[in-house]
Amino acid sequence: GNITGGSITSNKLRDNQSSKTQDYGLCGNGNLTDVDIDGNHYAGFKTAAENLTGTKTNVTYGRNPGKE
C-alpha cells in the first residue's frame, strides 16, 4: 500500500544464508509521500538493497549502510 507522512527506520534487512534467497531488502510498489528512510542496515541480497517502484514525493534518505 501507500505510505504518507511516515518513516521506514532502524531495520536490519539481511540475507545471511550461504545461498541467497531474497532479491531485495525493501520492496514495494506503493506510493511514498513525506517519508523518511533512515537507519536501515542492508546486507546480502541477490539483486539490490531496494526496489521501490511507486511514485516518491518528498522522500528523504538518511544513513542506510549497505544500500549503495
Tell me which residue of 9, 62, 3, 1 sits closest to 32, measured CA to CA: 3
68 pLDDT tier (thresholds 50, 70, 90): confident
State the Cα angle at 37 between 52 and 29, rounded to 5°. 20
58 pLDDT tier (thresholds 50, 70, 90): very high
67 pLDDT tier (thresholds 50, 70, 90): very high
C-alpha to C-alpha distance for 59 and 9, rounded to whole angstroms: 13
| Average of per-residue pLDDT across 29-33 | 98
0.75 surpassed by pTM: yes
Tell me: the pLDDT tens digits for 32-55? 999 999 999 999 999 999 999 999
- End-to-end distance of the chain based on CA atoms, in angstroms? 25
Q: The cell 509521500 sits on which residue?
A: 33
